[in-house]
Structure 1
Amino acid sequence: MRGRKRFVNRQTLRAALAALTAIGAVLMIGVPTATADELPQSEAQPRTADFQAWDSAADFSLGERKGVEIDRNETLSLTSMPEGRTSYADPFADHRAAVEYETGTWTSPVHDIGFEASDAIVSWNATTPTGTWVQSEMRGRHADGTWTDWFVMGRWASGMDFAAGDIHRTSVDGQSNADGDVYTDTFSAADGRPIVSDQARVTLLRPVGALADVSVSLVSVVASRLGTGTTTTSTSSMTEDTVLDVPQLSQEIHRGEYPEFDNGGEAWCSPTSSSMVLGYWKKGPTSADLQSVTAPNGDPQVDWAAMHTYDFAYEGAGNWPFNTAYSASFGLKSFVTRMPSLAEAETYIAAGIPLVVSVAFTRAELPQAGYSTNGHLLVIVGFTAAGDVIVNDPYSPTNQDVRRIYPRANFERVWLNGSNGTAYVTLPQGHPLPGEASPVSPTTPTDSDPATPEPSPAGPTALAVQQNPVPSAGAEDQQGVPSSSVTAGDQPQQLAQTGSDLAAWRAAAAVATGVTLAGLFTAMIGRHRNMRRRARGR
């Protein structure tokens, strides 16, 4: 298996070391540790997640702006008088000469998490014309009022015209101190140093003298406590089979393609999953974009996605916020969050929103998959009437084999225990999230993308196969390649079991519990804090 291994927390590791030492055993790195379900219930701690986003003029006005303004599109952009200048030498560029940039920053309000969090992930949506880029950062405040340092969570540019000035997008290695560490895209608090508040910062950069209009339309933070204890199967609210018409794409047909971008195949689960969701929304690279892509077995949009989500420090295409930033570059809204259960995932399917989720499992934990993985991304596209999970699993030999059904109890466990319920949420601007009212009218297509009108919001009514809500305008025009997917009805399905209790999201959850919370969700379930760095590609 490729990708990063799951890591246990330091307290669990110390306990394991002590136990092994007592019996004269030798600790081997990579030997499986106890799962959440094997821990004594007296040691169980609740898992909690908190999500906060800023994505409107009203939201951005609450933060501190230096050299940036809120433009007519309700996005952050550099002013004619940026905050200052800085130099940056791209460590992956051939020339490695420092370039001078004009800069501006937006710093979010301090956000109270509501519990002691052990980690945090920052997402951003940005428009970065050639030569421009954005840097995201976060810091946390401890219960005693002291702050961590600012940690860099990503340096992002959507383009790859390096000769014209694009930087190589990258995470930043080597960020570790007494307060915590950054593992590619996730801040992990040091044991005994949890954070109770967080704050995000984005810096917009353009070359001195350039007129390019770099902008940011969304900044979000999801903070979590990776709990311990038994993962209880949630209760399903499904009453009939519901399947979103998400294109089926296999990562395996790309095996061996583009070695410089991690060689396709098992390494490309995340960009393949992102491409499926983009295809559902009729978004993605154009035919002109894909003319230079070599994909002998078809679906060159997957190769394009792998190139444009590739993290040059991590040396892979599995950086979570890089994938959501890539999806957002096509005019969508996209972010990384964490969910407490499949019951919450059901509310997204009901709202017409497929989810890319991260799982990790052994063959025994999810035998229906037929493989094991220390980290894998796939797409939840629906649920059966019994509550079992219908997925597009890109780790399949062909596109026709991608659609599968996994048992609810097994899948929920490997999702929550494998990644703390991590999900990519991607949707058009104006499309309602679960619990939000529908917009008055669909978003008008932009002049820059006349062939891809925004989809009409999908209604909450479940259908045996819920069609893509986007009006058909020809896959060749909208995605650059003809669709090679097949319908759900053409696929063999596996039987499963069931379970779950319905959790709301954001304001919907707040109203249900009598708490008024804007732009965040808080959810509690039991889970073992078994992860420091997560695997990203199978």
Structure 2
Amino acid sequence: MKFSKFLFGTTIGLAAGLLALYYKGDKRVQAPAKKPNTKVFDDFSAVDLSEFTDHLALAAADKTALVLDQNDDEYVSVGSLTTPVFALSPFKNLVASWNALTPDGTAVQVEARINQDGRWSGWHSWGRWSTKRLSGSVKHDQADALAGIDTDTLTVKTGVGTKAQLRVHLYTENAQQTPVLKLVAASVKPVHQDLMVDSHAVTVDKVIATPAYSQEIRDPKLASGICSPTTVSMAINRQNADILPEELALHNLDTTYDGFGNWSFSTAAAGSMGYRAYVAYTDLDGLRRQILAGYPVGVSVQYTNDPNNGKLPYVENATGDTVGHLILVTGFTTLNGVDYVAVNDSYADSNEDAKRLYRLEQFSEAWHSRVAYMIGGNYQGYDRLMQPNRESADLVANDDHTAFTLQKDGETVSITAEMLNQTEPFDENATTIACTLDDGGQFDTTAQQHFDYATVDDEGRIKLDLAAIKQAHPKATTLTVYVARMVASTLVGTISLAN
């Protein structure tokens, strides 16, 4: 008798994990009494490879992960995983997530299809994705009678969906490299369960110490659009990463959407650095459970600080108006009998000003999407991925120390003003030159330091007037320059100011 199985789990507070055992002629499924709205597949050790995969194998160093199969010590070019069909709460919208490592020449693509009254939609794709090349959501989705996808959200056209299925393709153009799939997930916004209702099933009075960053003071060409990567950088830097928001943003561009706010791409970026991360539709108790577990949560909001606005949810103490924004929930607390949500809101004028308290009921209205970034702990054994991809470089001064040529391994790295001043649409040449001084200040993370953004002269040299810098900052001993590049390693050079 053929025996196959597939392990998968569900998200916080919505259903218990589910182990499905599939038998020929005798299928027994121990289902939860309440249908979940999120499914997370994150342990592939129980996969029957002959049934659920094509040209995939368990990773040699991590039996919970999937990689491409090999022929004669070379990886095959394409492989796929198809999950079992899973039931969900009736839904209109579905968002997929994935955690994967994508070395040079590799990529992954996640697809989903939905079932309505026994009819299946076609497969809809979230686009081919990689951290080593520009990625984009699907530009022209082949919508069918049941569903269609826009950027990161699959929408049921009429009626509701009740079941879904996920499919993941792994690709390589390098026979010596393979993607590594750690997680694939789907979450839906249930139509018969109002996630806006606060059941207060969980009680928490806790604020997690988390570095706060303002996106408004970052590289001007990026600042207005990087709330999502800034939110993710705060969440992972609270653990053991130390990435700049610009670095994360330049690895998180959706070229089709032409922006950095693709929900699926954002959690995939965290996953690529070794953190268990996915998008979920949840409620306030879902956030509380994550805070109790020790993890801040990114949420998608819209709000105004003008009580007379009339079009957007009013949030006292907010910094302005936004029709779409990501912030990081760091805790819940009560002051003078009023319930508050503690947040790091990057729509602030300074890092210090980003830490805010919003009234719970006002925050809840602003968080009308009920979309959350569930960014958990490190994957065991993936510690080397926790830091941004950086390489040392040399800064060679001109005669009067006002301009510096960037060199890597003795070769000049070309930088132009167009690369630094690029505006939408961004391309693979987009570059940020961020400079910071070691002047005795104490910071938990690099991104909390003060940064200036350098330009280049007509010869492509980075303009830094050392004499002026020393005069303005007499206590500074070192100037560090970060050259962050689109889907490429950041080049880091230092200049001594001691002499």
Q: TM-score range by the shorter chain?
A: 0.5 to 0.7
**Contact 1:173/1:182 (8 A) holds in 2:** no
**Contact 2:240/2:386 (8 A) holds in 1:** no
| Identity fraction in percent | 28
Give the 3 Å change call, closer, same or farther, for CA 199–206 of structure 1 in structure 2: same
Q: How does 1:104-503 map to 2 (within 5 A)?
A: 104-113=79-88, 115-143=89-117, 145-159=118-132, 166=133, 168-175=134-141, 176-192=143-159, 194-207=160-173, 210-226=175-191, 231-235=196-200, 237-238=202-203, 240=205, 242-254=206-218, 256-257=220-221, 264-285=222-243, 301-340=244-283, 342-362=284-304, 363-364=306-307, 365-368=313-316, 369-385=318-334, 386-415=338-367, 417=368, 419=369, 421-429=370-378, 443=380, 446=383, 481=446, 483-484=448-449
The structure where strand makes up a greater share of residues is 2
Give the 3 Å change call, closer, same or farther, for CA 367–141 of structure 1 in structure 2: closer
The CA deviation at 1:117 is: 1.5
Mapped partners of 1:374, 1:482: distance in 2: 26
Give the 3 Å change call, closer, same or farther, for CA 174–310 of structure 1 in structure 2: same
In structure 1, the residue matched to 2:78 is: 103
Mapped partners of 2:245, 2:387: distance in 1: 23
Give the 3 Å change call, closer, same or farther, for CA 410–367 of structure 1 in structure 2: closer
Mapped partners of 1:119, 1:451: distance in 2: 33
Which structure has the larger Rg? 2
Paired residue type of 1:377: L
1:54 aligns with 2:2: no
The CA deviation at 1:231 is: 4.1
Mapped partners of 1:229, 1:133: distance in 2: 37
Paired residue type of 2:58: I
Mapped partners of 2:103, 2:136: distance in 1: 17
Mapped partners of 1:309, 1:445: distance in 2: 20
CA RMSD of aligned residues (A): 3.1
Paired residue type of 1:108: T
Mapped partners of 2:382, 2:103: distance in 1: 20
In structure 2, stretches of 5+ residues that fail to align are: 1-34, 308-312, 390-440, 451-499
Mapped partners of 1:359, 1:154: distance in 2: 25
Structure 2 counterpart SS, 1:254: coil
Give the 3 Å change call, closer, same or farther, for CA 132–337 of structure 1 in structure 2: same
Mapped partners of 1:446, 1:477: distance in 2: 22
Structure 2 counterpart SS, 1:220: strand
Mapped partners of 1:210, 1:478: distance in 2: 41
The structure where helix makes up a greater share of residues is 1
Give the 3 Å change call, closer, same or farther, for CA 444–310 of structure 1 in structure 2: closer
In structure 1, the residue matched to 2:67 is: 77
Mapped partners of 1:338, 1:111: distance in 2: 17
**Aligned residue pairs, count:** 351
In structure 1, stretches of 5+ residues that fail to align are: 1-47, 86-100, 160-165, 258-263, 286-300, 431-442, 453-474, 486-538
Q: CA offsets per residue over residues 260-279 of structure 1, 9 Å max, x none?
A: xxxx2221110110110111
The CA deviation at 1:187 is: 0.3
Mapped partners of 1:232, 1:450: distance in 2: 39
Q: CA offsets per residue over residues 210-256 of structure 1, 9 Å max, x none?
A: 2112110001011223469794444385464x211110100100252
**Contact 1:476/1:482 (8 A) holds in 2:** no
The TM-score with structure 2 as length reference comes to: 0.65
The CA deviation at 1:58 is: 3.9
The CA deviation at 1:380 is: 0.2
Mapped partners of 1:370, 1:477: distance in 2: 24
Q: CA offsets per residue over residues 169-193 of structure 1, 9 Å max, x none?
A: 110022223212211011001023x
Paired residue type of 1:177: D
Give the 3 Å change call, closer, same or farther, for CA 59–251 of structure 1 in structure 2: farther
The CA deviation at 1:448 is: 6.3
Structure 2 counterpart SS, 1:371: coil
Mapped partners of 2:345, 2:375: distance in 1: 18
In structure 2, the residue matched to 1:518 is: none
Paired residue type of 1:111: F
Give the 3 Å change call, closer, same or farther, for CA 243–235 of structure 1 in structure 2: same
The CA deviation at 1:444 is: 5.8
Mapped partners of 2:98, 2:193: distance in 1: 30
Mapped partners of 1:243, 1:178: distance in 2: 46
Mapped partners of 2:384, 2:80: distance in 1: 29
The TM-score with structure 1 as length reference comes to: 0.60
The CA deviation at 1:412 is: 1.1
Give the 3 Å change call, closer, same or farther, for CA 409–212 of structure 1 in structure 2: same
Structure 1 counterpart SS, 2:241: coil
Structure 2 counterpart SS, 1:367: coil
Structure 2 counterpart SS, 1:346: helix
Structure 2 counterpart SS, 1:124: strand
Paired residue type of 1:384: T
Give the 3 Å change call, closer, same or farther, for CA 358–213 of structure 1 in structure 2: same
